[in-house]
Each structure stands twice: as structure tokens, then as C-alpha cells.
Chain A
Amino acid sequence: MVEAIDLHKDYKIGKVLFPALRGIDIKIANGEFTAIAGPSGSGKTTLLNIIGCLDVPTKGKILIDGTNVNELGSKDKANLRKNKIGFVFQTFNLIPVLTAYENIEIPLILLDVEQGKRKQKIVELLEEVGLGEYIDRRPNEMSGGQQQRVAIARALVKEPSMVLADEPTANLDSTTAKEILALMQELNGKHGTTFIFSTHDQLVMDYSRRTVSLRDGKIVDDKTKPRGH
């Protein structure tokens, strides 16, 4: 469960303070598949970064499973990310010198998972995202869609309680984007992992059950489709 209480974020541009988030209150339950929608500059990335403990709010609180993240030191935040949060980026952010397999392996190495177990998990997950044969490819030997699948596998491999995806489909064509969304939806159903992703793409919103709309750093709409839609 993620809870934001009166979240504010001001960016300093020169001497001027620019409010990117202006009082966000939101609760996202475990297992939700939630889109944060809104036009460019509305604060989506800022919100996701704060939820993911990559950035700190100027004011307000973030509670992850009841823990006030603001009170954690940088080491504890790193640990929280290591154990609970998976990230998927718009630009994929795979490590260029590593193969698909090795990229997915890093979170497991960090968690001290032993080698045999690592291998089993990675191979399984690569099959699941449909990249069984791409195990030894480097990022520059894969298409954008394939890279994003690897990135999703990397985010999921440690079985985090939530995956934060900032515009995961923005760099993909619509067919590939649909495939990726379908994949995320499938994994959400299968593993019960919370997915929070940002988008300004109607297509993405169609896939999500809940859509939170941001505008100028405020929530202007929060819709949940009835089940079975």
C-alpha cells in the first residue's frame, strides 16, 4: 500500500521556486494497476520519483506499507528500493555492456540470491516476457520493445511489491506499446504486483483499471473502471 499525504514538490530554477506538485493526496492499494495520466509538465515523473524514493518531497509524506519514507536515511532508502520497488524507464536504461541475462541478474546479485536460483528465475522470466532466445543479446542488439521487455523482467525478477513505470511505452510504436501493456497487465494479474505507471497516451489509459489525472501538479480526476471491463 502506497499513500501520499499533501505532497508538495518545488523545483528551484535560478532564484524562483517552481511548484511541480501542489498537494497530492492519493492511496494506491497492493495489486492495483494504476495509470497516472496528464499532459506534459503536469508532474507525473516527479510524483513517481518521489513514490520510488529517488527524490524527496518539499512537503508532505509518503507511506509505503506504513513506513514514512521521509524519515529513512539514504541507505535505508536504497534498501527499500532494492527489496520492494522495481523501476521501468521510458528510455529502458539497460546497462549497455551487459546482456539481457546479466541486466536482469543485477537485482538478484544485489539481493545475494545464489547463482543456480538466479539462473532459474531469469530464464523463466525471459520466457515469460517472450525473449527466451534473446538471453545473450546486448541492448544495442535488440529493438526498443525487446529492450523494454528486458527492463520489465529486470524490474520484476526480485518480486517487488510495486513496479513504477515512467511512460514505459512512450518510445514504442502503438503495436509494441499494446504488447508491453498487455504483458504488464498479465504479470500484474499473475504475480499480484502493484503497477503504477505514468502516461499521456489514451491507449495506456484504456488498459488501466484506475486512472489518476494530474494537471499542474494537482489531481484533477481519479476514475476506477468497474471490474470485468
Chain B
Amino acid sequence: MKIVNIAWRNVFRHTRRTIITAAAISVGLSSMIFMNTMMNGADKMASRNIIDFETSHMEIFAEGYYREEGVFPLDTIVENVAFVVDEVTKIAGVKEITRRVKFQASISDGIDELPVLGMGVDIENDNRIFRIRESVVAGTYLQGEGDVLIGENLASDMALDVGSYITIITKDRNGTYNAYDLTVTGIINTGHPLFDRNMAIIPITQAQDLLALGPGVTEICVLASDENRLEPLKARISQAIGNDYEVLTWKEMNAAIFEISGFKRAGQFMIALVVVIIAAVGIVNTMLMAVMERIPEIGTLKAMGFSNTGIVKMFIYEGGIIGIFGSLLGCLFGLLVSMYLVHVGLDFSSVFENMDIVYPMKFIIKGEIDYLNLLFVFLFGVFVSVVVSLWPVRRATRLEAVDALRHV
């Protein structure tokens, strides 16, 4: 208590050290907060895009289909759709359900031919789960067979517009090539690169026709009423429909992306670490200088009856007080920047324009503040500044009082 008083006074008298140190801490912390907000925002947007356009909460496949992910095999599809839909509809916690067919295809405007991912959607039901209809920026949503929706980027790559004719070419499940002429009825901008660049969306009936699937579909998408309790729902569905089917949640299907995200977090952590180390080196330096110029003072205090512990305590309190100030400042600044990120966001369009990225999100990243992280960062800042002030003072207290006094 008493030493805290002395330390408190010292913090405000040694202004230069206080300002430099607190500034270093606050810059370090605010950049940590900034990065965290960005990463959270990016991940949240990616998750949103996946759920809203790609997978919904979970999907049901024929057993074995998903293991050949990316190949879209037409020989392991859900054949008994009526059974699955019936069973799943009865399960509590299922909010919506729809069918989709995904297939490899290419589209041609008569001159160029581009590989795309074809997708057949249930015109009635799809929009209860997915947000494709809301993403139409020109023309209209699918009206019926013969219509195709394409992404904005694909449209501009192939110089297509609403009303343009294209041919979709694919191989059906028997290995026969089929081609259909389609009219571009609408252009979508989802913010999900897969949809905006590589996708041709047609009515499901037409897809089934084109691929000779009969009533079969490649997947059945399920929207849960509670997105935080997907595992129990998944278990109930699996049990109801049996072993011929495989149920996967959106998280399981996108493990790779969240692994990337894990890498990014590791990267973020490394960057943060470097920032903190730089800040810490700065602090150690200032502290070391401060302690050095105060060695005679330390000698004097010892002569007055301060024990080594008392001296160390005094410097720890000083470090702690500076740490609290710097961390508060850093958190405040970080929060301000984060708020900007949440409301305005950062535009990365120019950076990613020519890159073929798979991370499913828009190029304007909006932040997402993690308050728990904020608290952690605050405590971390205080901790670092205490630890960092410990080392110089330990050196100083190793001097005998006489030697400290002689040190001029």
C-alpha cells in the first residue's frame, strides 16, 4: 500500500518513461485488437456465406458421396429422396429442407467455353434457406426450365448479360454428353467467390433431366432452428435415415477453410507476438535506462530502510501502473479502430482482384469485436509491462547498497 503510493508518484514524475512505455504498449495492443477484429469479421462473413449460399446448416448425402468431394460423382446420389425428405421433415429442430443437385459442367457462348459448377435448385424451396434470390442484381430469379443464373464475375468474364444465350454442356450419369441451350435470366452478386465466378444455377428438374438422375439428388440441405445445437440434430437425423446416408454439418464440410483460418490465427498470433516483442524491447530499454539513472536513488532508498523486495515491488507497481494506463489506452484505441471496421470495413477488392482465392467472402471485410479478447489483451498488456520491468530492477537490486550509492 505504502509502496504503491511512492510508485504512483514516480509514474507521474518520470513522464518521459511513462509516455514512451505506455505508448509502446498501447500501439502493440491496439494492433492486436485490430487484427483480431479483422480475423473475426472475416471468419464470420465466411461462415455466413457458407451457410447462406453453399451448405445451409447441414447436408445429407448418399454414403460415400462426400469422400469424393470435388468430383461430384453421379453414381452415389440420394435416390430415395421422398423417404429422406419425409423422415427429416418429422424431426424436431429441422426448420427448412431443400434439395440440390451439383454437377460438373462447362458453359459456352459459342466462342469461349468455361468450366463451371452446375447447380440445380428447387425454385420453390431453395429461398427459404438460401439467399440466392436476394442476390440477384440484374434480371430476375429462375422462373422455370431454360433459365440460368450466373454470377457477376462470370458474366463479365464471358461478356454475358441478362437475356444472353449460353449452352451448358455436361456428362450425364451414364457417361453421355448432353448440351442444353439456356437463357441468362438473372445475374447474382453474393459476395461468395464460388457463386460469383464459377456457378451456373438452373432449376433442379432440369438438372435431373440433364444428368439422367430421375428423382435423385446429390444432396439434401437442412436448416436447423437452433444453429448452436447442430450436433444433436445431426445425430437424430442420422438415426432416422440410417447408414445409407451421411449427414455433415457446415463446419465439418469446411474444416479445411477453418484450418486455413487456424493458420491465419497462428499468423495473427505471430504478428502480435512480434509487435509485442518490439514493444517489450522498447519498454525494457526505457525501463533499463530508468533503472540505471535511478541506481543512486535505489541506494538511497536502501539506506533509508527499503529492502530489496520493497525496491522490486516499487518498480513492479510502476510497471503495472504504466501497463494499466498503456493497456487502457491501447484497448480504447483498438476499440475505436474496431468500431470503424465493424461499421465501415476495409476494402480489399484491389488486393484480391487478380487472385484466385477460395476464402468464401466479400472483399470488403467488416470487423467483429470479441470483447473477451479485449479483456485478455488488456490483462496481457499489464502482464507484459510488469514482467518487462522486473528484469532491469532485478539487476539493480543485485548491487549492494554501498555500490548503488557510489554509482554516479
Contacts and interface: CB of A to CB of B under 8 A. Distances in A.
B408 A83 contact: no
A113 to B, nearest CB: 9
B262 interface: no
Contact of B10 (A55, A91, A97, A109): A97
B290 to A, nearest CB: 11
A98 interface: yes
A54 B303 contact: yes
A102 B12 CA distance: 14
B6 A89 contact: no
B232 interface: no
Interface in B250-307: 296-297, 299-307
B128 interface: no
Contact of B2 (A55, A78, A112, A154): A112
A18 to B, nearest CB: 15
B408 A78 contact: no
A166 to B, nearest CB: 9
Contacts, number: 71
A82 B305 contact: yes
- For chain B, what secondary structure do more than half of its interface residues adopt (helix, strand, loop), or is it mixed? helix
A106 B6 contact: yes
Contacts of B401: 54-55
Interface string B361-374: 00000000000000
Given A78-B310, A97-B14, A109 B305 contact: no
B405 interface: yes
Interface in A52-111: 52, 54-55, 74-75, 78-83, 85, 87, 89, 91, 93, 95-98, 102, 106-107, 109-110
Interface string B301-329: 11111111110000000000000000000
A97 B2 CA distance: 18
A93 B299 CA distance: 9
Interface string B112-147: 000000000000000000000000000000000000
Interface string B344-382: 000000000000000000000000000000000000000
A89 to B, nearest CB: 7
Contacts of A82: 304-306
Contact of A49 (B6, B10, B300, B402): B402
A102 B296 contact: no
Size bin of chain B's contact surface: 20 to 34
Interface string A111-137: 010000000000000000000000000
Interface residues on A, range: 20 to 34
A8 B304 CA distance: 25
A79 B9 CA distance: 23
B67 interface: no
Contacts of A95: 297, 300-301
Contacts of A79: 305, 307
Contacts of B303: 52, 54, 81, 87, 93
Interface string A184-197: 00000000000000
A93 B300 contact: yes
Nearest to A86: B304
A93 B405 contact: yes
B408 A91 contact: yes
A87 B304 contact: yes
B75 interface: no
A110 B13 contact: no
B4 to A, nearest CB: 10
B302 A54 contact: yes
B402 A54 contact: yes
Contacts of A98: 9, 13
Given A89-B405, A97-B10, A97-B14, A106 B304 contact: yes
Given A54-B402, A109-B5, A112-B2, A78 B10 contact: no
23 contacts: A52-B303, A55-B402, A74-B308, A75-B307, A78-B302, A78-B307, A78-B308, A80-B305, A81-B304, A81-B305, A82-B306, A87-B300, A89-B300, A91-B408, A93-B300, A93-B303, A93-B405, A95-B300, A106-B6, A109-B2, A110-B304, A110-B310, A154-B304
Given A55-B400, A87-B303, 5 more contacts: A87-B300, A93-B303, A95-B300, A98-B13, A106-B301
Pairs A-B, 3 closest by C-beta atoms: A82-B305, A97-B13, A78-B307
Interface of A: 49, 52, 54-55, 74-75, 78-83, 85, 87, 89, 91, 93, 95-98, 102, 106-107, 109-110, 112, 154
